[in-house]
């Protein structure tokens, strides 16, 4: 473990970088995923299916090898490029696209997969008062994630661009001002219908987008649960339901989820017409007086309604895996004033 973390043999981060405040939260999940990759373990996979003609978010499982799009490569063949641009998607934008938390490549430079990475605690303070089978975790989403969601969706079905345009044309072509609150709140239902039609037709093309690593504590205490870690993978289609489903209620103003829904519809429509858009301009124009860096947040109770896998109450990895994922001595580099660092730090100390 040249970087002190399991499986990360090649990376754009140095051994020192991995332990910094803004790096450990993605480096540790990558190492945990590598550990599961090495042991042929599957993650929880939240995906979309069509059940009785309706879109439904369902839990299943997915091998980490598939999440990394690694094929028959070994961990030694993989390159972990953090906070980087997934260059294959740049072809769809005139302006520079944002980076994403983790870009998987191989050591020959071939791009494999873009992944947004979250490290979140289970339970949240709000759900900790409920029975354990109702505990949930929170997700805070950046606008970069929703733009990658749109680009990835189109990339997978670009061969069918004419049919995609037909799906969105009626709902989108009539919009005069994409940044007008009144017009967008009234036309959003048609946009949602178009997205639903699109997803019902192409859901078999969904692929992993968000890798959410869970660490579980004993309620609100700083002590790790015995079964302390697991990974939830969200497909791009399942991820989109987090903001689309909450946008169906009538509103006089464009809320964050509604904004994300309208942006997705616009991106897919314009990409189907020309194959290239100005992603940054779309996101800046359609701000609706909200922050542009934060897209939306999902609380623990709502999260649990989507993540219905029984495995959530008994996570896959025991807390003892810390000793295998983090090389001895490196735990000293953590900053105990940060909650997750503190939990890891004192867990190791207690066990020594």
Residue 165: domain span = 17-351
Count of structural domains, the chain: 1
**Is 1 domain-assigned?**
no
**Is 255 domain-assigned?**
yes
Distance of CA 129 to the CA centre of its chain: 27
**Is 5 domain-assigned?**
no
**Is 347 domain-assigned?**
yes
**Is 3 domain-assigned?**
no
**Is 2 domain-assigned?**
no
pLDDT in tens, the chain (352 residues): 668 999 999 999 998 899 887 899 999 999 999 999 999 999 999 999 999 999 999 999 999 999 999 999 999 999 999 999 999 999 999 999 999 999 999 999 999 999 999 999 999 999 999 999 999 999 999 889 999 999 999 999 999 999 999 999 999 999 999 999 999 999 999 999 999 999 999 999 999 999 999 999 998 888 899 999 999 999 999 999 999 998 988 888 899 899 999 999 999 999 999 999 999 889 888 988 765 567 889 999 999 999 999 999 999 999 999 999 999 888 878 765 557 777 776 676 555 5
**Is 95 domain-assigned?**
yes
**Is 227 domain-assigned?**
yes
């Amino acid at each position: 473990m040249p970087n002190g973390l399991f499986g990360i043999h090649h990376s754009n981060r140095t051994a020192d970088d991995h332990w910094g405040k803004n790096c450990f939260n993605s480096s540790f999940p990558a190492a945990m995923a590598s550990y599961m990759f090495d042991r042929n373990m599957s993650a929880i996979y939240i995906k979309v299916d069509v059940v009785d003609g309706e879109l439904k978010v369902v839990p299943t499982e997915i091998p980490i090898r598939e999440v990394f799009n690694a094929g028959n490569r070994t961990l030694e063949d993989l390159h972990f490029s953090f906070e980087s641009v997934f260059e294959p998607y740049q072809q769809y934008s005139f302006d520079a696209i944002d980076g994403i938390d983790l870009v998987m490549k191989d050591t020959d430079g071939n791009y494999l997969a873009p992944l947004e990475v979250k490290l979140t605690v289970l339970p949240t303070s709000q759900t900790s008062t409920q029975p354990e089978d109702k505990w949930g975790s929170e997700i805070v989403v950046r606008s970069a994630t929703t733009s990658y969601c749109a680009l990835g969706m189109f990339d997978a079905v670009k061969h069918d661009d004419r049919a995609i345009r037909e799906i969105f044309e009626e709902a989108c072509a009539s919009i005069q001002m994409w940044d007008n609150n009144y017009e967008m709140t009234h036309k959003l239902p048609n946009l949602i219908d178009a997205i639903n039609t699109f997803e019902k037709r192409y859901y078999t093309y969904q692929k992993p987008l968000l890798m959410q690593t869970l660490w579980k504590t004993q309620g609100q205490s700083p002590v790790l649960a015995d079964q302390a870690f697991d990974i939830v993978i969200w497909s791009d289609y399942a991820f989109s339901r987090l903001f689309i489903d909450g946008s169906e209620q009538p509103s006089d103003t464009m809320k964050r989820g509604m904004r994300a829904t309208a942006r997705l519809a616009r991106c897919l429509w314009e990409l189907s017409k020309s194959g290239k858009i100005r992603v940054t301009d779309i996101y800046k124009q359609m701000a609706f007086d909200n922050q542009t860096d934060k897209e939306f947040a999902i609380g623990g109770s709502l999260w649990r309604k989507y993540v219905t896998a029984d495995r959530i109450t008994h996570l896959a990895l025991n807390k003892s895996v810390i000793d295998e994922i983090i090389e001895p001595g490196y735990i000293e580099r953590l900053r105990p004033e940060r909650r997750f660092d503190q939990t890891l730090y004192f867990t190791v100390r207690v066990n020594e």
